[in-house]
Amino acid sequence: MIFLDTRYVSPLLTKALSTVEETIFDVTHGCFLSAAPNFKKMDVYMGIIMNAEIGMEALNEFLPDHHVTRMANIFKNKMAFRKLIASKYPDFFYQSCTFPELQEMNAKELPFPIVLKPIVGYGSEGVYKLNDSESLEQFIHTYETIDAAENMQFILEQYIDGKEFAVDFYFDEKGEPVILNIFARKFKDSNDVGDRIYYTSKDVLATYMNPFTQYLKDFGESFHLKMMPLHIELRVNTAQKIIPIEVNPLRFAGEGTTELGYFAYGVNPYEHYFNRSKPAWDKIIEAMDDAVYNFTCAEMDKGVEPAQIEAIDHHSLKKEFKEILDYRMLPLDGRATFAVIFFKSESEEEHDHILSLDFMKFITHKQYQLQ
């Protein structure tokens, strides 16, 4: 079954949907695009996928007692997820708190640097790295002016020093993990928590395919998950230990960015999921070139509303990239991302330019005049 946000359906997902016979629920308009199923008789492991976070609301409405629904809700709650895996990481610090509790917290007892983020959230929205008590005080001072601050729920986590990755995969009918993508995440500096650039390459796949496959097998062995797609973010610390950051259930990388793998190594993740198939990674990696394949999400600053925008200069933005593989304009419907750009580079050096790029300079605001 597919919970589909029809405001934006990416090209490879559109292609895959044209070849499968699946029940589709349009979460944007609240209607079925095919015959409605009998949810009471639905097989627990029949397979569920969505292309956006808003599908979770419909999932909980239609299948509140589904095992996959229960696991998806645990994954989406960062505190519940940490508790779920706590026994595997006994030395990993994490703590939940409300904003008032954060205000009263003794900073001397916190193991800085730490990461602070909403218990429920998407992407890097609301995520902060706090290096010391001064940065915590600054965060508190900033949020004291927000009306909803008292109702905010946060999780504080130990900062993991190391390389970060995003992995798209699914557990197959036997509960074995099938990796469909491995993307490395590029940061501007040690304080950057943004989602500006992810990339992949022959070296990334060759280095991490086997250890990530084994890790995901161990990760899922006690969850009893079958035919469940996941997007997991991992860090490999300086001791080469793999530590999960968060799990986004029942989907792959958002806004169609999972399709970077199609440009880099010809893998359509949706087709593999729908067909219950596995990429022939040994042959794929052997056939790859030495280029670096990347995507970036061009985002507006927080608080910018679509009604304020007069125009976006996509033509000039394209000129900032040496070799564009695909440039996708997204609808201005309230989301921060207005374009997803897939691009190819000879090395990671081009990343520095894109990481420093101010996307707001390509946006023209409407000029309002008093009557």
Digitized pLDDT (tens) for each residue of the chain, 371 residues in all: 999 999 999 999 999 999 998 999 999 999 999 889 888 888 767 789 999 999 999 999 999 988 899 999 999 999 999 999 999 999 999 999 999 999 999 999 999 999 999 998 766 678 999 999 999 999 998 888 776 667 789 999 999 999 999 999 999 999 999 999 999 999 888 777 778 999 999 999 999 999 999 999 999 887 888 899 999 999 999 899 999 999 999 999 999 999 999 999 999 999 999 999 999 999 999 999 999 999 999 999 988 988 899 999 999 999 999 999 999 999 998 889 999 999 999 888 889 999 999 999 999 998 865 54
111 vs 73, 132, 230, CA distance in Å? 28, 9, 30
Amino acid occupying residue 117: K
CA distance 41 to 38: 6
User: Which of the following CATH numbers is that of domain 89-158: 3.30.1490.20, 3.40.50.620, 3.90.1300.10, 3.40.50.460?
Assistant: 3.30.1490.20
CA distance 4 to 86: 33
Handedness of CA 269, 270, 271, 272 (dihedral sign): positive
pLDDT at residue 73, rounded to an integer: 96
pLDDT at residue 321, rounded to an integer: 96
Q: Are 244 and 85 in contact (CB under 8 A)?
A: yes
pLDDT at residue 332, rounded to an integer: 92
Q: What are the structural domain ranges in the chain?
A: 2-76, 89-158, 162-365
Give the helix/strand (H/E) hosting 25: strand 24-26
pLDDT at residue 274, rounded to an integer: 94
- pTM: predicted TM-score of the whole model, two decimal places: 0.94
Q: 162-365: what CATH class?
A: alpha beta
pLDDT at residue 161, rounded to an integer: 92
Which DSSP letter does residue 277 get? -
120 vs 4, 34, 308, CA distance in Å? 21, 31, 28
pLDDT at residue 195, rounded to an integer: 82
Contacts 24+ apart (CB under 8 A), 285-288: 285/202, 285/205, 285/206, 285/209, 288/201, 288/202, 288/205, 288/264
CA distance 9 to 19: 15
Of the candidates 344, 324, 278, 258, the residue with the CA atom closest to the CA atom of residue 9: 258
Say which residues have a Cβ less than 8 Å from residue 226's Cβ, sequence separation at least 6: 45, 171, 172, 173, 174, 175
Q: Which residues of 104-115 are buried (b: 16+ CB within 10 A; e: fewer)?
A: ebeeeebebbbb
